[in-house]
Structure 1
Amino acid sequence: MATGGRLGLVAATALVMGNMIGSGVFLLPASLAPYGWTAVIGWIATTAGAMVLAYVLTRLTSALPKAGGPAGFVSAAFGHSAGFFISWIYLVSIWTAVVTIAVAAISYLSSMVPALGNYPAFAAIVLLWLLALVNMRGVRTAGGFQVVTLALKILPLLVVAVLAVIVLWGGHAAPPAFVPGQVTFHAVNGAASLTLWALLGFESASVAAAKVERPEVNIARATLWGTGLAGVLYLLVCSAIGLLLPPDVVAQSPAPFATFVTRFWSPEIAGLIAIFAVISCVGAVNGWTLLEAEMVRDMAARRMLPEWFAAVDGRGTARRALLISTVIASLFAAMNTSRAMQALFEYLLLLSTSAALWLYLACALAALRLGVARIPALIGVLYSLWTLWGAGLAASGLSFVLMVLGLPIWLWLKHRKPVAANL
């Protein structure tokens, strides 16, 4: 739990798993429906890649305990300018991730309150501000909220996993036959790019290092355990939904988990599943909200953003960083009000994923440069490049453009005041 305004091992692990188990596991079956068995291979590739990158981060944390997180690793290897641009694009990825998960929460709520489906962006903005208010109460409150929501969000995953076993055991459904010729490198690449969204967040404990108790021990444990457990749950549950339901049914469902339970159990229980899915998304929005405020505060403390945002209140909350982050996330949602629910979700998903991949690529390259875990780091570099390609030119290109848009801020800060020596 969180003690003394800091996150203990349980809360740090909940931060990692809670940020990972959010919208992805509940909405991705719809996006992955056309892939069939290829999606299973994509899940395996993504989980393996995420575990390698998570291991690289833990090794960098041990080698550079005073770096303060991923941005510090990149700065140590390639200089302050590289550290800024990677921090900036990762911050952009957090802003878009918060919006994407909020949209997913509204998608599940719309299965109970259909009117919300007409205004997904506006409803998402309301949710963003409600969770910002929770984080205003401090790290301890946000950490406790994360532990509770993690416990609740695992329940529907277990229900679907057990139900899938019962369905297969009783012969009520059978997965489609595996046809090797339908599995292509390009298809696996596309599926892996989508599934990586579900595993974004394994770096959460490293990013929030300043808020973690005994970071030299707890960050590695929370990162590896959280990533591994979430990856296994995703593989089992999403594959069951995607393979046991007709692809067209899954693809058109705004709430695939609820659809699965309705088909094989009862509509009443499906209604409860939808409620738990909303709780899951809300918990993830809470965790990412904590992370975005901490990222802005850390960048301000390193003079990568105006120092005005580095201030914290008596509870250790960076209120200014939290407010500006929520405003910007709200703008991301408002700019996409014309998109339908699933289109908005998938667009923001790929944008957030490709933006986060620049951080993963930079950390893997930093490990190579610093001589830390070189073989895993090389695999991490290749995996990051492969997934950036799979995300598509539109999303990866836009994320690169957003990274470059940080240039005026960096030039202004360098002109205004020398860069902090401890970057």
Structure 2
Amino acid sequence: MGEGKRPFGFWTAAALVVGGMIGSGIFVLPAQLAPFGWTGVAAWVCAIAAAALLATVLAALARAMPEEPGAVAICARALGPLPGVLVGWAYWVGVWCANAVIALTAIRYLGVFWPAMTATALSSALWAVALIWLLTALNLQGARAAGNFQLVTTALKLLPLIAVVAILAGLALSGGRQFGTEAHAPFAADQLTPAITLAFFALVGFEGASVAAERVRDPARNVVRATLAGLALTALLYLIICSGIIFAMPVAAVAEAQAPIALFVAHYGGAAAGYAVAGFAAVAAIGCLNGWVLLQGEVPLGMSKAGLLPRWVAVTNKRDVPVGVLLAASTLASLLVLSNATRSTGGLLDFMLRLTTAATLWLYVGGCLAAIRLDVARPVAVLGLGFALWVLWGSGLEAVLLSIGLMLTAVPLYFLALRRGSAEQPA
């Protein structure tokens, strides 16, 4: 493939990794991890180490098989078409599950301005569903409209994080006495697994360069470097921001916060700064949701074009949008939000975080199994597989079983595509 068809160099590939990782997770995880105390810090370290192992495996696969278009295709080649379909379908499930989380995160930050939106778990869920469908309507107008909206919101996602880092740096330079004003829960080994599951959600997306390997120049070199560099930068930023907020604020206040980053900035920078950060965080989450809504149509579309799913999945409108699968994914994301609306808002978010992590982990499990089968970075792949299964177990039985059930819905679609493909072969 010539350079024109591989437009991404190292910096663009690294931006894919960083952009894919910085989404909604960091805007809600301080509240979810606050009760864990020092166990939360250990969870970040373990989750980052696990992500580094898995990133190394995916990058090694891209280096060994640069002719393949991405991680899902490599899994299909190494493990067979049906396992490849299951891995790709599980990734699609993870996409629309993530959309449910991202929509709820945006509503939590919008609730800073309009408290009625988050007055109850049900009202939060209803507004999140409305936001999902608003951005679905935007994406039905075509990739150009969605892309223009994405350009406006992408840079804004960094501003709240920069504000938090600046405040934390100021606190540290002034002596850091704010970090020791309250006792935090000590490390507890029995709490490490659930804490890792939550922390790992924020790291999902490091596979961006590996998934788009066919667009990267010299993938054997650039995918590896971009993946590890992007992961290291973003993971360090997350560790500092999340742990810094938790240790510089009262635990109860952070744990109960609808918008923990806005709460932190308002506490140290004033109400006006808190409102500004909440606004930027809401816009960033909405922009992230827009990009993932686009992706929830593209993943099954690509699988259909490859003959792994029925041809009707690839039917598009005049704007080249796969309307059917896009509407199906938004419907499923909406049902996920509404089906758990009887939980508390924190419980609703916790469950969706665990389900999203469980669904996405199957791609990493498939990648590690493919590497072991192909004898590519086998020792690292064995360790990565162990970590992935550990985090999967930490997601909880409910989330794991639901992720498996949703993944298996691809099986009849695969055999339908296979039967129709055989019927169309010449006798």
**Same topology, TM > 0.5:** yes
- Structure 1 pair 121–348 and aligned structure 2 pair: CA distance change class (3 A): same
Match of residue 60 from structure 1 = 61
CA distance in 2, matches of 1:168, 1:18: 28
Contact in 2 for aligned 1:142/1:286 (Cα 8 Å): yes
Is 2:174 aligned against 1:173? no
Is 2:286 aligned against 1:282? yes
Is 2:90 aligned against 1:89? yes
Match of 2:199 among 180, 195, 202: 195
Identify unmatched segments of 5+ residues in structure 2. none
Match of residue 417 from structure 2 = 413
CA distance in 1, matches of 2:145, 2:60: 30
Shift of residue 328, structure 1, vs aligned partner: 3.1
Deviates more, 1:247-256 or 1:127-136: 127-136
Identify unmatched segments of 5+ residues in structure 1. none
Match of residue 29 from structure 1 = 30
Contact in 2 for aligned 1:70/1:206 (Cα 8 Å): yes
CA distance in 2, matches of 1:294, 1:73: 18
After TM superposition, list the pairs within 5 Å mapping 1:63-142 onto structure 2. 63-117=64-118, 118=120, 119-136=123-140, 139=143, 142=146
Deviates more, 1:124-133 or 1:158-167: 124-133
Contact in 2 for aligned 1:12/1:218 (Cα 8 Å): yes
CA distance in 2, matches of 1:394, 1:406: 20
Match of residue 404 from structure 1 = 408
Query: What value does the CA root-mean-square deviation take over the aligned residues?
Result: 3.0
CA distance in 2, matches of 1:170, 1:323: 52
Contact in 2 for aligned 1:18/1:283 (Cα 8 Å): no
CA distance in 1, matches of 2:50, 2:269: 35
Query: What amino acid does structure 1 have at the position aligned with 2:86?
Result: F
CA distance in 2, matches of 1:6, 1:290: 22
Contact in 2 for aligned 1:303/1:420 (Cα 8 Å): no
Contact in 2 for aligned 1:21/1:280 (Cα 8 Å): no
Contact in 2 for aligned 1:5/1:140 (Cα 8 Å): no
Is 2:395 aligned against 1:391? yes
Match of residue 335 from structure 2 = 331
Contact in 2 for aligned 1:37/1:178 (Cα 8 Å): no
The one-character-per-residue Cα deviations of 1:273-304 (angstroms, maximum 9, x if unpaired) are 10111122122212322322221111111222
The one-character-per-residue Cα deviations of 1:67-108 (angstroms, maximum 9, x if unpaired) are 322221211111111111122222111110111111111111
CA distance in 1, matches of 2:383, 2:143: 35
Shift of residue 355, structure 1, vs aligned partner: 1.0
Match of residue 189 from structure 2 = 185
Shift of residue 241, structure 1, vs aligned partner: 0.5
Is 2:240 aligned against 1:233? no
Contact in 2 for aligned 1:21/1:198 (Cα 8 Å): yes
Match of residue 20 from structure 1 = 21
Contact in 2 for aligned 1:71/1:83 (Cα 8 Å): yes
> Any idea what SS the aligned residue of 1:417 has?
helix
Query: What amino acid does structure 2 have at the position aligned with 1:223?
Result: T
- Structure 1 pair 144–11 and aligned structure 2 pair: CA distance change class (3 A): farther
Match of residue 301 from structure 1 = 305
Shift of residue 322, structure 1, vs aligned partner: 3.1
CA distance in 2, matches of 1:57, 1:410: 25
- Structure 1 pair 337–182 and aligned structure 2 pair: CA distance change class (3 A): closer
> Any idea what SS the aligned residue of 2:308 has?
coil
Is 2:371 aligned against 1:367? yes
Query: What amino acid does structure 2 have at the position aligned with 1:301?
Result: K
Shift of residue 184, structure 1, vs aligned partner: 3.3
Contact in 1 for aligned 2:39/2:189 (Cα 8 Å): no
- Structure 1 pair 61–346 and aligned structure 2 pair: CA distance change class (3 A): same
Match of residue 253 from structure 2 = 249
Shift of residue 53, structure 1, vs aligned partner: 1.2
Is 2:224 aligned against 1:223? no
Contact in 2 for aligned 1:101/1:284 (Cα 8 Å): yes
> Any idea what SS the aligned residue of 2:180 has?
coil
Deviates more, 1:364-373 or 1:332-341: 332-341
Query: What amino acid does structure 2 have at the position aligned with 1:169?
Result: L
CA distance in 2, matches of 1:220, 1:316: 33
Match of residue 382 from structure 2 = 378
Query: What amino acid does structure 1 have at the position aligned with 2:337?
Result: A
